[in-house]
């Protein structure tokens, strides 16, 4: 059901007026030919309409109690700004915690990579030491073989009978 400003002014109701929505207050203000902008806050439009209706003696002086001081509007705006500031601070803290968490994760990953590199280095070092020890063992074994071969050869050279040198003994 659409709001009718003319009908409301014929039977004014203070309680009904207090419950009007902004759109209804705008229609009433237009009907009363008040100087206002639709972008104004509801309370400011309501204050203008109350002043006009009290001046026109449609409402009595008790209607002035419904007026909300601009200080309240200022306090409301201040609270809104404080709330926005608090939300921004919370968002900033959240971002800082997120950045700190990411930094910790990055450091942990770097430590793990460093540990992996260190383990890999130790493994290669152990492998090289093992190869060196195997090479040394091979060399020792070869030296022992050569020694035994040279001993055997030297003994066999002693007992080596050369028929060409000793031909006279052979005949």
- What pTM does this model have? 0.40
Location of structure tokens 């063992």: 137
The upper half-sphere exposure of residue 146, i.e. CA atoms within 13 Å in the direction of its Cβ, equals 6
Q: Which residue did the predictor score with more confidence, 43 or 67?
A: 43
- pLDDT of the residue at 130: 96
Under 8 Å CB-to-CB from 45, ≥6 apart: which residues?
22, 25, 26, 29, 36
Neighbouring C-beta atoms of residue 36, cutoff 10 Å: 15
- pLDDT of the residue at 88: 96
CB–CB of 46/32 below 8 Å? no
* Structure-block tokens of residue 139: 């060399």
What is the per-residue pLDDT across 57-115, written as a single tens digit (0 to 9) for each?
777 777 676 776 655 667 778 888 999 999 999 999 999 999 999 999 999 999 999 99
């Amino acid at each position: 059901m659409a709001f009718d400003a003319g009908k409301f002014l014929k039977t004014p109701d203070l309680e009904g007026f207090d419950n009007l929505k902004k759109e209804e207050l705008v229609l009433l203000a237009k009907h009363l030919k008040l100087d206002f902008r639709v972008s104004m806050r509801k309370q400011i439009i309501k204050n203008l309409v109350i002043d006009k209706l009290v001046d026109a003696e449609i409402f009595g002086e008790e209607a002035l109690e419904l007026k909300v001081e601009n200080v309240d509007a200022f306090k409301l705006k201040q609270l809104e700004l404080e709330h926005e500031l608090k939300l921004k601070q919370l968002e900033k803290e959240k971002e800082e915690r997120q950045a700190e968490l990411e930094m910790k994760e990055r450091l942990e990953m770097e430590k793990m990579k460093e540990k992996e590199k260190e383990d890999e280095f130790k493994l290669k070092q152990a492998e090289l030491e093992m190869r060196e020890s195997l090479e040394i063992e091979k060399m020792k074994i070869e030296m022992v073989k050569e020694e035994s071969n040279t001993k055997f050869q030297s003994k066999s050279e002693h007992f080596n009978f050369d028929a060409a040198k000793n031909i006279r003994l052979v005949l």
